Amino acid sequence: MEVFIAPIREDHAASYRECLDVVAREKRYLGLTQALPLAQTEAFVRDNVRSDAIQFVALEGERVVGWADIFPHWAQALAHCAGLGMGVHPDYRRRGIGRQLLQACIAKAWQKGVTRIELEARADNAHAIALYRRLGFEHEAVKRHGMRFDGTYFDTVLMRLLAPTLRQTS
């Protein structure tokens, strides 16, 4: 079955939570180690749909197999900056789904006036870092011991993508 990218809808909440939980329990890619309870996930998705948030899902039929979102900072002086989060179910990786999700989110972010997208990834997540670089993200810093799973620390890489209008002036 074909996988397609779409804005998240409220009826995706349970499937989104299942996918998020699988990725989180890998204790490798996300800051979460398990998904929030379904009621909280439903409220989160409902709020995102109502606010036209930058959040897309990869769907196989009605099953969420990946997601990406970009949320602007809440403080006024930082509102042009937004943080990227994403994940793809392990059974669906290396198929270009992450790239498609990111492209959809980035396009909507620029449309909504975001001019700086930021992310933090584990330094040993070579596939994700390579994807981010292919899409134009640039390395900014290494955060020593940025994540900890089961008592083991991992460095993280901070990256950013500037809107085309800012890249012309930099």
The enclosing domain of 161 has a CATH number of 3.40.630.30
Q: Is the C-alpha dihedral spanning 74, 77, 82, 83 positive or negative?
A: negative
Half-sphere exposure of 81 (CA within 13 A, CB side): 11
Q: What percent of the chain has pLDDT over 70?
A: 98
45 token code pair: 């998705």
Confidence of residue 106 (pLDDT cuts 50, 70, 90): very high
Q: How far apart are CA 137 and CA 118, in angstroms?
A: 9
Q: Are strands 116-122 and 81-88 parallel, antiparallel or unpaired?
A: parallel
Print the domain residue range for 126: 3-169
pLDDT value of position 170? 53
Closest CA relative to residue 66, chosen from 25, 100, 31: 100
Encode 123-152: b = buried (16+ Cβ within 10 Å), e = exposed.
bebeebbebbeeeebeeeeeeeebbeeeee
Name the CA dihedral angle for 17, 19, 21, 26, rounded to a multiple of 10 degrees.
Answer: -170
Residue 95 token pair: 């198929």
What mean pLDDT is reported for the chain? 95
Q: Which residues contact 93 (CB under 8 A, 6 or more apart)?
A: 127
The tally of domains found in the chain comes to 1
Whether the CB-CB separation of 19 and 89 falls below 8 Å is answered with yes
pLDDT tens digits, residue range 21-59?
999 999 998 999 999 999 999 999 999 999 999 999 999
- Give the predicted TM-score (pTM) of the model: 0.93
Interval 70-101: pLDDT, tens: 999 999 899 899 999 999 999 999 999 999 99
- Distance (Å, rounded) from C-alpha 86 to C-alpha 65? 11
For residue 59, what pLDDT is reported?
98
Q: Which of 170, 94, 102 is nearest to 133 (CA)?
A: 102
